[in-house]
Structure 1
Amino acid sequence: MNVANTSRARKARLDELVPSRYALRIGKIDVLLISDGVLPLPTTTMSTNAEPAARTAWLDEKFLPRETLDWALNVAVVRSGDQTILIDSGVGGEFPAFPRAGQSIPRLEAAGIDLSSVTDIVITHMHMDHVGGLLGEGVKERLRKDVRIHVAEAEVKFWEAPDFSKTVMPAPIPDVLRSVAGRFANAYRSQLRTFAEEVEVAPGVLARRTGGHTPGHSVVCLESGGERLTFAGDAIFQVGFDHPNWQNGFEHDPEEAVRVRVRLLREVASSGALLAATHLPFPSICRVAVHGDAFRSVPAFWDY
C-alpha cells in the first residue's frame, strides 16, 4: 500500500495478466481492494424471485452468459492511524468447486502486507467466502495472537443453529456453510470481539450491522476528511442496482435483505459516498445514482 512495497509486489506475481488489487485514499485512510478470484454460480441464484424472461433480458443486456455467472469476490485492507484492518478473508480452500477463488492471502503478501501486521479483522458475515481464508493452512499462526476479530453478536449466535429455510442454494453449499462457520467460530473464539449494532474499529472506521443477508450481516463505513466509502459486503450484488427487489438465493431473510439493500443504496446515493462490495466486479468502486424506482451504478475512474 506504499511505494516501498512496489518492487517486492512486482517480483511476487509476474504471471498475473489482470490487476488483482486497487488502492485509494479516503481522507487520511488508506484502502486496498483485493480480488480473491471469482465464484461460478447459476444465474438463477442471483434472482430467485425473478421471471425467467426478465432475468434473461437483463443478462443479455449486460452481455453476460445466461446459465452460469462468475461472481467477483473482493476483500479489503484498511489502514487508519496505527491500525491495519482486514475486511473479510475470501473463500480460502474451503470449497474445491471454486478453483479460481481463494487468492486473498497470497495476494495480501504480494502487496507487501504481512499477516502479522493486521491488528483487526472485520467479518461482514460468516459465509464461507468471507471467513474461509482465515482457515487456510498456517494462516492463524501468522496472525498476531492479540488480533481483534469484529463480528456482530447476532451473526455468531445465528450460526450456532443456522436456518436455511428461506435460502435457495445449490445442494452442497448449506452443509459447507454450516461447517465452515462452526470451524471459524471454534478456531477464533478467543479473538472474537462481538458488537450489538455498531462499533468503531479504528478512527473513521465503523462496522454497522444491517441484517438481511444474514441476521448479523454488517457493512463497514469509512469517513475521513469529508470523504466516505461504504464496503457493503453482500448487501448489494451486480443485479441489485437495476432490480433491487430481486432476491438472492444466499439471503437467509430475502424480504429483509431487499429492504436493507434499498435503504443502503438510497443512503449512499444521498451522501455521494463511494461504494464497494464483495461481489461487484473488481475493483467494485462506484457511486450510486437514483434511477426512477431503481438505481444506477456509476463506476469510479481509476486513479493512476
Structure 2
Amino acid sequence: MTMHLDHPTQKDGTQKRNAQQESNMNLHNTSHPGESGSEELVPSRYALRIGEIDVLVVSDGVLPLPTETMSTNADPAARAAWFKDMFLGPDAFDWALNVLVVRSGDKLILVDAGLGGQFPGFPRAGQFPKRLKAAGIDLASVTDVVITHMHMDHIGGLLVDEVKSQLRPDLRIHVSATEVAFWESPDFSLTSMPSPVPDVLRATANQFISEYRSKVRTFEDEYEVAPGVVVKLTGGHTPGHSVVYVTSGGERLTFAGDALFPVAFEHPDWHNGFEHDPEESVRVRVRLLQEAAASGELFVATHLPFPSVGRVAVDGDAFRWVAGFWDY
C-alpha cells in the first residue's frame, strides 16, 4: 500500500504541492502489511507549506496521564463531564506528543525533540527518530533545534544515544535565557505533578545542559532562527516557555508548545499540573488563542491530538478548535 502526503490547500488559495517534486523534505510513505521494520500503517507525519516554508508535524507518540493533571483547579464533576463528553478517561487518557520540522532557506530546524526512550512507563512515546528516518530526513541535516521549554518530553529525544551520535558538530540549540536560568534552581511549588516527576524533570534538564552547553544559544525576548521562523518568549508554563511563529507569503503558523492543552478551548482557565505559574499560564493561553482567532492563522501545539493542525474560533467567553481538513 502506497500513501502520498501532499501539502494541504489553505483558505487563501495556496496551491497544493506534490511533496516529492516541490519539497526538499521527502514526504513519501510506503507501508506493506506483514513487513517488519520501522514502516507504519498509521500516519505519523503531516506536511504543509506556509508560503515558501516547508513544515512537517511529526508525532512522537503518546504518553498516559491522569485526567486530574489536565485540570487541577476544576470542579471534579465538571472535569468528569468534559472527559466523558470527549469519550476519554475517566481517570487517565493518552496525551499526544508532537514535534515540528521546518525548512526555511538553507536551515532545517527541529522544534522540540520529544520524550526519548529512556523513561520507563512510556513505551509508546519517543518515536520521532524513527519517524524522521521514515520521512527521509537525516538527523545530520538538522542545522538548528528550538526548545520551547526544558521539560523532559521536549528535550529527552536529544539525550538518546542514537540521536546524539547523528547530530552535526555545529548544531545550534536555541533556548530562552530565562529558561536556562530557571532550571539552575527550579521552583515546583505551584505545580501539581505525579510525585516522581519533579525529580526526573530536574535531572533531565541538568543532563541536557551538561551535554549540550556548548551548542546552546540563548535569546532574551525573541530570535529569528531562519527567515520567517521566529521563537518568542511567552513564559507561563515555565518561566522561559516560548512559542514559534512561521511566517511567509502572507501566511502564519504558530507552534504553541505547552501553552495550551485539549481542554483549553472550552476551559482556558483550567490549570495544568505541569504549569509552574498557573495564573500566568492562563493569561498567556488566552492571549495566544485570541491572537489566533483574530488572524485565522494555522495553529499547532505539542499536546493536541495529531496532526494538531487547525484554527481557533471565539465561542462566547471561550474558544473553539476547528481542525484542518486533510487534503491528500
Equivalent of residue 71 in structure 1, options 95, 100, 123: 95
Match of 1:273 among 297, 306, 316: 297
Aligned with 1:150 (options 165, 174, 179) = 174
In the alignment, is residue 229 of structure 1 matched against residue 246 of structure 2? no
Q: Describe the shift of the 1:7–1:218 C-alpha distance in structure 2 as closer, same or farther (beyond 3 A).
A: closer
User: 1:17–1:293: structure 2 CA closer, same or farther, 3 Å change rule?
Assistant: same
TM-score of the superposed pair, with normalisation by structure 1: 0.97
In structure 2, what is the Cα distance between the partners aligned to 1:188 and 1:147? 10
Task: State how far apart, in whole Å, the 2-side matches of 1:241 and 1:112 are.
Answer: 35
2:122 alignment partner AA: F
Please say if 1:88 is aligned against 2:112.
Answer: yes
> Structure 1 residues 219 and 281 mapped into 2: Cα distance closer, same or farther (>3 Å)?
same
Q: What is aligned with 2:206?
A: 182
Aligned-pair distance for 1:18? 1.3
**Quick check: 1:248–1:254 contact (8 Å CA) kept in 2?**
yes
Unaligned runs of 5+ in 2: 6-18
- Note closer, same or farther for the CA distance 1:220–1:7 as it changes in structure 2 (3 Å cut): closer
Q: State whether residues 219 and 231 of structure 1, in contact with CA within 8 Å, keep that contact through their aligned partners in structure 2.
A: yes
* Residues in 2 aligned to 1:125 and 1:143: alpha-carbon distance in whole angstroms: 20
The equivalent of 1:3 in structure 2 is 20
> Alpha-carbon deviations, 1:168-201, whole Å to 9, x = none?
0001111110000000011000000100010000
- TM-fit CA distance, 1:6: 5.3
* Contact 1:32–1:78, Cα closer than 8 Å, also in 2: yes
Query: AA paired with 2:215?
Result: Q
For residues 88-119 of structure 1, what are the alpha-carbon distances to aligned partners after superposition, in whole Å with 9 as ceiling and x for unaligned?
00000232111110001111111100011000
1:258 alignment partner, one of 273, 282, 288:
282
Alignment of 1:1-304 (within 5 A): 2-3=19-20, 5=26, 10=31, 15-304=39-328
Give, in angstroms, the shift of residue 141 of structure 1.
2.2
Amino-acid identity (%): 68
Is the CA contact (8 Å cut-off) linking 2:149 and 2:241 kept in structure 1? yes
The residue identity in structure 2 corresponding to 1:19 is P
Which secondary structure state, in structure 2, belongs to the residue aligned with residue 55 of structure 1? helix
Structure-2 change in CA distance of 1:211 and 1:6 (3 Å): closer
Distance in 1 between the 2:214 and 2:30 partners? 33
Note if contact 2:268-2:318 (Cα within 8 Å) is conserved in structure 1: yes
* Cα distance in 1 between the residues matched to 2:77 and 2:120: 32
Distance change (3 Å), C-alpha of 1:295 and 1:96: same
Q: State how far apart, in whole Å, the 2-side matches of 1:245 and 1:98 are.
A: 28
Cα displacement string for residues 223-247 of structure 1 (whole angstroms, at most 9, x for unaligned residues)? 1001110000000100000000000
Q: Is the 8 A contact 1:9 1:111 kept in 2?
A: no
- 2: distance between equivalents of 1:97 and 1:269? 37
Q: Do 1:8 and 1:112's aligned partners in 2 also have CA atoms closer than 8 Å?
A: no
In the TM superposition, residue 250 of structure 1 has moved relative to its aligned partner by 0.2
Tell me the SS of whatever aligns to 2:245: strand
Query: C-alpha distance in 1, partners of 2:197/2:37?
Result: 31
Give the 3-state SS of the residue equivalent to 1:40 in structure 2: strand
Structure 1 segments (4+ residues) deviating >6 Å = none
User: Which is worse superposed, 58-67 or 230-239?
Assistant: 58-67
Residue by residue, what CA displacement relative to the aligned partner does 1:229-284 show, whole Å, maximum 9, x if unpaired? 00000001000000000000000000100000000000111111100000000000
- Calculate the aligned-residue CA RMSD, in Å: 1.5
Q: Secondary structure at the match of 2:204?
A: helix
Structure 1 CA distance for aligned equivalents of residues 90 and 37 of structure 2:
33
Q: CA deviation at 1:138?
A: 3.0
- For 2:165 and 2:39, the matched residues in 1 are separated by 28
TM score, norm. by length of structure 2: 0.90
